[in-house]
Amino acid sequence: MKIVKHCQDSLPSMVTGSLLGMMLDDDGILEITHAFPFPEQKDNGGDKNMDGHEYQLEMMKMLREVNVDNNCVGWYQSMLTGSYSTSTLVENQQGYQTDLSPNAVVLLYDPQQTNKGNLVLRAYRLSRECMELLSAQQKNVFLSPSKFFEEIPVYMKNNGLTTAMLYELSQKSNVDHFNCDFEQFNLDKDSYIEKNLELMCNWVDDLANEQYKFQYYVRQQKKQQQNEGEDSGSTPRRLESLLINHQIRQYCDQMEKSSSGSFGKLFLANNMQKGSGK
């Protein structure tokens, strides 16, 4: 709830924070028990990373004094419409898995998709193949985009007081559960699918730019072979292309799930029209 509130209250800005908890070795479960936000970065010319690092250490010290879990197990970040495959996220997650623990995770919360009625809270870590590739710093090694991230199942558990409060509220609710305004049967065009298509087109353009850079590098390499001694420039990184491919796949999966519900509405409306015609 702290993560959701922080991400929702900070819209449209994207925010990050720290995850605290413990690793249960017997069951292989990473338990997240507490979270706190990172301070907003100020453009004052100072050392932003040092300020955030000092703030995190100070927060963990104060939490330890009040007997709250102060073992960092990862970090969280808000995202919009499922966009998270960026080099910045990969570099940050690589640092957590290298310096902190191989089991460290990044928890991603999407306020826009959650507003559609489904809580979108996902946990990822970089796969073992990806960590080896990044550690080797080899630009000519290929890795399938589907093997870049490893998704960890998320299970949420409320404490006893929260469960009791929700049960009491449900018993005292005066909402008429049978009063349906038929909003769920709305067949108008879905702005969520349109947004996904728009963002996917932008990422396809980015992929085309990355391919153009690689093609330019290949042409320069051929010129170098003809004219020895000519510098063809640095080898372009494949990381950006892999991340863009992965993000495009995420948009396709999101549109497939959303459109499946729209098709269900269309078939239902069609059957209702046939029934009313009889």
Tokens of 190: 């879905």
User: Does the pLDDT of residue 187 top 60, yes or no?
Assistant: no
At 191, is the pLDDT very low, low, confident or very high (cuts 50, 70, 90)? Answer: low
Spatial separation of the C-alpha atoms in residues 73 and 70, rounded to whole Å: 9
According to the model, what pLDDT value does residue 76 have? 92
Provide the token pair at 57: 């250490």
The answer, yes or no, to whether residue 153 has pLDDT greater than 80, is yes
Threshold 0.85, pTM exceeds: no
What's the pLDDT at 47?
46
Angstrom distance (rounded) from CA 263 to CA 193: 13
Token readout for 79 is: 């995202």
What confidence tens digit (pLDDT) does each residue in 63-112 have? 888 877 778 888 999 888 778 888 888 888 888 888 888 888 999 998 87
Q: Provide the pLDDT for residue 207.
A: 82
Which of 18-27, 191-200, 263-272 has the weakest average pLDDT? 263-272
Per domain, the residue ranges of the chain are 2-158, 184-277
pLDDT of residue 178: 46
State how far the Cα of 108 lies from the Cα of 67, in Å rounded to an integer. 27
CATH classification number, 2-158, choose in 3.40.50.1820, 2.40.110.10, 3.60.20.40, 3.40.140.10: 3.40.140.10
Query: What is the tens place of the pLDDT at every residue in 158-185?
Result: 777 877 877 787 776 554 444 555 555 5
- pLDDT average, residue stretch 38-57: 61
